[in-house]
Structure 1
């Protein structure tokens, strides 16, 4: 592909409220001494920004509330040139919020209050008449909405099956690419094994593997780094994989690049604030 990949992302838009602490709390435990920060987030927004930062033309479709959080949630996307014409502003709704705890090792716990994301539906979605190279979805929108997208979208469809939840076969059977982590892979089990889709399974610090028709077709290692914050690393991986796959047509190259991009995203705090540039990804690849 000689032109910039054109990617339509249909997904969630959140404001992340992040507390950095020494250790994450156990059930019933209170941990003090946290440092608070606000970052734009949401899987849809994160993946849209990652793809844009790495060279794609990206349009984002979703919803926010008419509140101050919306301005914060959309600020980096707007500044980075993501097309936001498909983002609806809904009265009497709050913008989605994610409450995130991050420990000294960069591991996190996340609670999401979806707000306006729950109102993204067939009624709020535009007619998909603009030609794009791929459509990318996640599962932070209502399942009925994802089912509608799967039924009406033409061309390459990638679905990041996060967070894992029961899905009708119509969604899994329609997707050309399904992206899962190890927890999500275990949740879907045989449904993935029987799928005709290309399955991209992330393995955390161990990299990622591509599986099709039950057979491994490619594998990539993740660069060795000392993570600061893993929030958004998976979303960066997804955006990077899609951009590189559309450009190169190679699963193996896309896996390698996406693993490096995901690792680079852990070197800075926050989700969207950590999204790497192509130069940063190439620098990390050169060190591997």
Structure 2
């Protein structure tokens, strides 16, 4: 089984149900509050492991109750957590997520210990990169760490799957070393300064050296730009309850599919079913499906 290393954030998500997303200056009454394990790094690690991947996680937690609960969740989902370090000075990262009756959300994150995932921590766990095949990384950790990991993976011939969330400027050198970038529409616009339509912006990233640009478009599916041109893929019909972690589930599904030798079309279908199941349930990690659930849809379309 090919090995996947995930480098990224681990958060406790405080999910607040609201009738609608508040406007600036507006006060609304919440319908309820729940705690869920989250953080894009942890979400993608758990999702990939549940889908059958051989996954190791590099991340950082505070020495607190949230941290203990989150590392337990990773372990119970089969993720190797030997490279998840405990920080005695910074608290576990926390995300505050408002979810509307329509399933829309917005998110405010206090990074906490995630901000201390640095080059030295990566170096302490270099052994994980010696026989890895894929590396999934996001942008909820310092950008210099992100770029260091991308450079390291280039040296070791590891395929990097970058989910640029939240979107930040990234060096041209790092872009040239990416096997795949998976932004959503908003992230794509930020990365390209909103300089054109979706196709032109995705082509711009491809021209910068990204081997494959796969833009997720929610209910409209996704769009792939690479050496074969532009191709769009539909999304399977799932009723949205909470869109939190849908992108994480898609990234994980795409990586696991490719690691198993699926071609892009099959991997995209596999990832789309994983994301579809995710949006039909509440919470981040709680909504991430296992392989059996995804295969119940995916195998029927083969």
TM-score range, shorter chain: over 0.9
Pair 214,58 (structure 1): closer, same or farther in 2 beyond 3 Å: same
- Choose from 76, 89, 103 the match for 1:79: 76
Q: What residue is the counterpart of 2:241 in the other structure? A: 228
Q: Which moved more, 1:107-116 or 1:150-159?
A: 150-159
Q: What residue is the counterpart of 1:115 in the other structure? A: 112
Equivalent pair of 1:199/1:212 in contact (CA under 8 Å): yes
Q: Which moved more, 1:121-130 or 1:41-50?
A: 121-130
Aligned partner of residue 182 in structure 2, secondary structure: strand
Q: Which moved more, 1:147-156 or 1:77-86?
A: 147-156
Equivalent pair of 2:45/2:56 in contact (CA under 8 Å): yes
Q: What residue is the counterpart of 2:146 in the other structure? A: 146
- Is 1:163 equivalent to 2:177 in the alignment? no
Aligned partner of residue 238 in structure 1, secondary structure: helix
- Choose from 249, 254, 275 the match for 1:241: 254
Note the alpha carbon deviations across 1:98-118, whole angstroms, 9 max, x for none. Answer: 000001111101000000000
Aligned partner of residue 48 in structure 2, secondary structure: helix
Q: What residue is the counterpart of 1:16 in the other structure? A: 13
Q: Which moved more, 1:81-90 or 1:221-230?
A: 221-230
State the alpha-carbon separation in 1 of the partners of residues 207 and 276 from structure 2: 30
Normalised to the residue count of structure 2, the TM-score between the two structures is 0.90
Q: What residue is the counterpart of 2:207 in the other structure? A: 194
Equivalent pair of 2:16/2:99 in contact (CA under 8 Å): yes
Pair 185,214 (structure 1): closer, same or farther in 2 beyond 3 Å: farther
State the alpha-carbon separation in 1 of the partners of residues 298 and 52 from structure 2: 17
Equivalent pair of 1:209/1:255 in contact (CA under 8 Å): no
State the alpha-carbon separation in 1 of the partners of residues 268 and 227 from structure 2: 18
Unaligned runs of 5+ in 2: 193-200
- Choose from 213, 219, 223 the match for 1:205: 219
State the alpha-carbon separation in 2 of the partners of residues 222 and 198 from structure 1: 19
Equivalent pair of 1:70/1:95 in contact (CA under 8 Å): yes
